[in-house]
Amino acid sequence: MLLYLELDLFVNFSQSLKDKRHVVQSIKSRLKSKFNISIREIDPNDKWQITRLAIAYIGNDRKEIENTKRNIQDLIYSNGSVEISSVREEIL
């Protein structure tokens, strides 16, 4: 089974693209090291307080997919530097 997530994030306290890039790179690195996922920052790259992450994960069953999705979101929430403003998901 495949999980595809698009997460819109609001980067708190970001004053520049450099600030945003630092926060987003940290989140991406933590997610990659903790979960076996593919992750990419997609649109909008020129905004300094918002970003969208696309995440793909392959799991054995729906329960594993749901647990991983919840754990990904929990890790992002625990960061404190960002807020998840919207989530789009597909499970194939």
Q: What percent of the chain has pLDDT over 70?
A: 99
pLDDT of residue 52: 95
pLDDT in tens, 45-72: 788 899 999 999 999 999 999 999 999 9
**CB 73 within 8 Å of CB 84:** yes
- pLDDT value at 44 more than 90: no
Most confident residue range from 40-44, 47-51, 86-90: 86-90
The DSSP bridge pattern shows strands 50-58 and 2-11 to be antiparallel
Number of domains the chain contains:
1
Determine the Cα–Cα distance for residues 56 and 34; give it in Å rounded to an integer: 14
**Nearest CA to 58 among 33, 34, 91?**
91
pLDDT of residue 48: 85
- CATH classification of the domain holding 26: 3.30.70.1120
Domain that holds residue 84: 2-91
30: tokens are 């933590």
Q: Which strand (E) or helix (H) includes residue 72?
A: helix 62-79
